[in-house]
Amino acid sequence: MAKLAWPGPDRRKNIGARISRLDGPEKTTGTAKYSYDMNREGMLYAKLYQSPHAIAKVTAVDTSEAEAMPGVKGVYIEKDRRGEFPNITYAGDIICAIAATSEEIADEALTKVKVSYSDIGSPQMNDNDPSLISGRDQSKEQGDPDAGFGEADAVSEGTYGLACITHACLESHGQMAEFKDGELYVWPSTQNVSGYAGGLARAAELSADKIHVECQYMGGGFGSKFGADKWGSISTILSKQTAKPVKLMLERDQEHKVAGHRPSAFGTVKIGVKKDGTITAWDSDIWGSGGMGNFRMPPLPYVFTGLPNYRTLGRGIKVNRGAARAWRGPNHPQAALITMCALDDAAHAIGMDSLSFFKKNLHLTDRPEVYAEELDKAAEMIDWKGKWHPRGENTGGSMRSGLGLSIHTWGGGGGQSDCAVTINPDGSVVGRTGTQDLGTGTRTVQAIVLSDTLGLPVDKVRIEIGKNSLPASGASGGSTTVGGVSSSTRDAATQALNALLEKVAPDLGVEADKLEAWDGRIQEIGNPSKGMSWEQACSLLGGMAITKQGSKDTSDGTILTVSGVGGVGIADVTVDIETGMVTINEYAAVQDCGLIIDEKTCESQLYGGTIMGITYALYEETVYDPATGAMLNPDFEFYKIAGLADVGKIKVHLMRGPKYEDRGVVGIGEPAVISQGAAIANAVANAIGVRVPELPLTPDRVLDAISKGGVA
């Protein structure tokens, strides 16, 4: 019988190869239909009316003039469960919505809505003032920090931080909703196909089994698209009210204001260090904001969790901005920035090369060997030896270059996933899973696993995903998708194959145990002459297809996915000390990826993560008017994301070989985006001789730091 365990390197034809994503032809020709692209007969367009005030009570909403407009078909007014207008807590809070026959009419109708407010208050927009702290202290202590500082030859102290940023998905949040025969059909842009319907049950007044969800393509989520959200409910309610399909997608400014924020984090770190690079103590005091929600302290000290003596304190600040949402690698970019910059400053304090300092302390991490190999590889890729100089000790007129590094970790073990594999008598094969492909290549990895398990080329199998009528699969968060779906697919495919082998065994006169699927054939193991083609074998099924369901928690308990990876990033930058502009020359990303299913899309995660990381390191930041709380850059002109010329030369390296691959499948979408902020900030410090305390490393911040003691 075919075994569930992953095949060895000599038995992998598609797994680990470079395979182009299967939905490439649809994505490159505009034929891929995203939720935003769903047009239904007679549909209405819904638009949201948002509060211009950050703090206020709504006393009346008058939509009569809007409703009188030709083309306006439906109105929704937000009320809480007591039937009262909700209290406004940030500028952008949703007050009402209009559905009309065209986008233009809906837009115009919004201008005719009259909302009365009382108790308009002054918002609290400052997330970087420790005197504004509210909420409980989050503290942690290990060993004896005071004794540790006593042993130190030097104590380095610095301030570090990252501004709040948004997810800025190119396809905004929203959905198309349509009622048909008393059931609801929705096409949301979601990271959670199987888990989406429940969030609409109340708005639809239907049980979840009567809510049909489909999302074949979605234009980015990054952690912000797990739930049905208020706008999902609103489009559902408007659709029910008007008996028409209703599409509600957020406008770009709304997307920035209401659809997701990465919490900020700021603070001070003090590190005690001996001359030989031994870290003796850590003391950190961190504050930041998750908007009006709770602040969760980043996991500090990050990666170097074996630090013998440390004390950490985390405290939240309430800010009147939209709610925080999980942002690709929640809390890890913050933790990496704070930890790796503080450690880099400690290395500088004792005059040690940062690479040597980090390597010396790897025993304090969970995976010293992995990081050591990765650091050596990244250092070689970037020519650390040839290029490194002590902080600020460089010449070159106004253009100063520098190197910086960071290391990171992530879980990425597979999440819950079920998959049904059907082998048909005509030899066709389909794998069905209620998962979603965020652009990570979910379809493609499933097809690779399914085809390799059955000894077929990738184009001989078909994958169906993106509907909640398919076997349930978890939300795509935490980089859990690839581990989940590859395990469930392998499990289902192996069971289906074994059922086929049982059918074929008598015809071949070979016990099923001694049969294998290889190279498009079912044959005696290692003996192609005793076998038959895949199609012949399937024809023996007669009229009855085989369908087997597999799960992430596999049928015989074989573990196919594991959690925990390490990765490294090194940045090579040039800073123009006259303008404060930072240029990325090169970035080396080295990543432990577990068993790689598709090398091509795996590399793309590293390239993409690096680019997104460069973007938050250099450009991204939400800016608010302190008086009104209005977001001042809810667009792409002033909320900047990197363009093609801004990212320098990116080099990625995936760690391969049995030591890494035998562990099983691990998701790497999130580790790919963690180290960039810290590595680039450290490179900038190395270039200009002084720490720029906060991201993004905009020219004003860089010049400010230089003026306070950097290179002249």
Partner 1 sequence: MSTKNTKHEPSGISRRGFLKGVGAGAVATGLLQEVSESAGIAEAATPTTLGPGEIPIKLNVNGQSRSLNVEPRVTLLDALRNRLDVTGTKKVCDRGTCGACTVLLDGKVVYSCSVLAVEAQDKKIVTIEGLGTPDNLSDMQAAFIEHDASQCGFCTPGFIVATTAFVRDNPGATLEEVREGLGGNLCRCGTYAGITAATFEQAQKGGA
Q: Which residues bind partner 1 (CB under 8 A)?
A: 20-21, 23-34, 36-37, 39, 45, 102-104, 168-172, 217-220, 222, 251-252, 438-440, 600-601, 603-604, 607-612, 615, 635-637, 641-645, 647, 650
The CB-of-646 to partner 1 minimum distance in angstroms stands at: 9
- Whether residue 696 is preceded by a cis peptide bond, meaning omega within 30 degrees of 0, is yes
Give every CB contact of residue 651 below 8 A, 6+ residues apart in sequence: 381, 382, 586, 587, 588, 589
In terms of phi and psi (left: phi > 0; alpha: psi -120 to 50; beta: otherwise), the region of 277 is left
**In the complex with partner 1, which residue's Cβ is closer, 39 or 527?**
39
The CB-of-604 to partner 1 minimum distance in angstroms stands at: 5
**In the complex with partner 1, which residue's Cβ is closer, 555 or 583?**
583
Q: How far is CA 553 from CA 299, 414, 479, 480, in A?
A: 29, 9, 17, 13
Q: How far is CA 278 from CA 93, 160, 255, 271, 464, in A?
A: 50, 22, 46, 11, 54
Q: Determine the angle formed by the axes of helices 676-688 and 332-349, rounding to 10 degrees.
A: 30
**In the complex with partner 1, which residue's Cβ is closer, 544 or 644?**
644
The CB-of-290 to partner 1 minimum distance in angstroms stands at: 22
**In the complex with partner 1, which residue's Cβ is closer, 169 or 470?**
169
Contact 471, 440 (CB under 8 A): no
- Cα(317)–Cα(292) distance, rounded to whole angstroms? 8
**In the complex with partner 1, which residue's Cβ is closer, 37 or 553?**
37
The CB-of-322 to partner 1 minimum distance in angstroms stands at: 18
Q: Residue 290, CB half-sphere, CA atoms under 13 Å: how many?
A: 18
Give every CB contact of residue 581 below 8 A, 6+ residues apart in sequence: 575, 699, 702
The CB-of-547 to partner 1 minimum distance in angstroms stands at: 28
In terms of phi and psi (left: phi > 0; alpha: psi -120 to 50; beta: otherwise), the region of 71 is left
∠ CA 283-349-690, rounded to 5°: 95
Residue 485: closest CA among 409, 411, 421: 421
Rg of the chain over all Cα atoms, to the nearest angstrom? 28
The CB-of-126 to partner 1 minimum distance in angstroms stands at: 28
The CB-of-624 to partner 1 minimum distance in angstroms stands at: 20
| DSSP annotation string for 589-640 | EEEE-BS-SBHHHHHHHHHHHHHHHHHHHHT----B-TTT--BS--SSSSS-
**In the complex with partner 1, which residue's Cβ is closer, 519 or 586?**
586
**In the complex with partner 1, which residue's Cβ is closer, 401 or 633?**
633
**In the complex with partner 1, which residue's Cβ is closer, 532 or 650?**
650
**In the complex with partner 1, which residue's Cβ is closer, 360 or 600?**
600
The CB-of-242 to partner 1 minimum distance in angstroms stands at: 17
The CB-of-365 to partner 1 minimum distance in angstroms stands at: 27
Q: How far is CA 275 from CA 279, 280, 348, 682, in A?
A: 9, 11, 11, 20
β-strand partners of 611: none
**In the complex with partner 1, which residue's Cβ is closer, 452 or 620?**
620
**In the complex with partner 1, which residue's Cβ is closer, 27 or 275?**
27
- Cα(609)–Cα(576) distance, rounded to whole angstroms? 25
The CB-of-405 to partner 1 minimum distance in angstroms stands at: 20
The CB-of-637 to partner 1 minimum distance in angstroms stands at: 5
Q: Tell me the residue type at 458.
A: V
- Cα(432)–Cα(429) distance, rounded to whole angstroms? 10
Contact 280, 152 (CB under 8 A): yes
β-strand partners of 582: 575
The CB-of-192 to partner 1 minimum distance in angstroms stands at: 15
**In the complex with partner 1, which residue's Cβ is closer, 266 or 587?**
587
